[in-house]
Amino acid sequence: MPDSDLLPTLQRIADALERLAPPPPAATVVTSADAFIWHPGGRLEPVPKVSRVEIGLLRGVDHVRETLLDNTRRFAQGLPANNALLWGARGMGKSSLVKAAHAQVNQETPGALALVEIHREDLATLPDLLHILRETDRRWVLFCDDLSFDGGDASYKSLKAVLEGGLEGRPANVIFYATSNRRHLMPRDMIENERATAINPGEAVEEKVSLSDRFGLWLGFHTCDHDTYLSMVSGYCARYGLAISDEELRREANEWSMTRGGRSGRVAWQFVQDLAGRLGKPLN
């Protein structure tokens, strides 16, 4: 076939392949917001309004609150700071504290930090995200909520290399905060299985638990007691102007916690939402 006949055919093939390919990701202006969600493929989606709780309303976690806040302030100032793992009881404000600390630092120094949430299932694209953030002038808090790994999941190895120890490592303008119900991010049966099947059980277990060691801060959250639970409820009611007597508030809050089978910050907030609805009071 002559070249003059072949070229139009090749052009049609090239055009067809171009139509099938996804469009290149639109460039995001990284100063357009203070919070973003990462989507694989190179897109940072701005979040105009973050769902968060004021830091002063987080009760029963005073020590970890101040520790994370100080670490975040140092990072915003360009000083050395650690990656942080917030682990422990469900509903005690782990993810709320990360968002509240970011908001508090930005309130003190507007625009100092940008928050980026990366979903657990997108961790394989973490190097792509870091490549984008490394080229910016902003300082970034990279946040992964409910981080954990199950059997057969090897993505924790790439996360280890990114946090510390890889050739490039973590960019100086990025810090990594994660929350988990597990201190070592992996279920006990997964670690025990590695010990049972490995030639050197000690080394296999070290490989699993060393991921947590890449976090310089381990901040533990524990189930709250009765007084702390009531303090949470009272704090919310005072903040949102919910008119109810102390005696009635305690009675209803205790009854609510018994129906839920436990006490936590999440249970306290759910009770306050129910109370506000019954009182016809919006929670703005």
Dihedral angle sign, alpha carbons of residues 276, 280, 281, 283 = positive
Considering the domain 35-221 in this protein, what is its CATH number?
3.40.50.300
Closest-CA residue to 39 (of 99, 117, 98)? 117
Buried b / exposed e across 102-129, counting CB within 10 Å, b at 16+? bbbbbeeeeebbbbbbbeeebbebbeeb
Structural domain boundaries of the chain? Answer: 35-221, 226-279
Confidence (pTM): 0.79
Q: What is the pLDDT of residue 276?
A: 94
Distance of alpha carbon 142 from alpha carbon 276, whole angstroms = 34
Q: What is the pLDDT of residue 22?
A: 46
Q: What is the pLDDT of residue 31?
A: 76
Which residues of the chain fall below pLDDT 70? 1-5, 10, 14-15, 17-29, 150-158, 161, 164-169, 184-210
Q: What is the pLDDT of residue 160?
A: 73
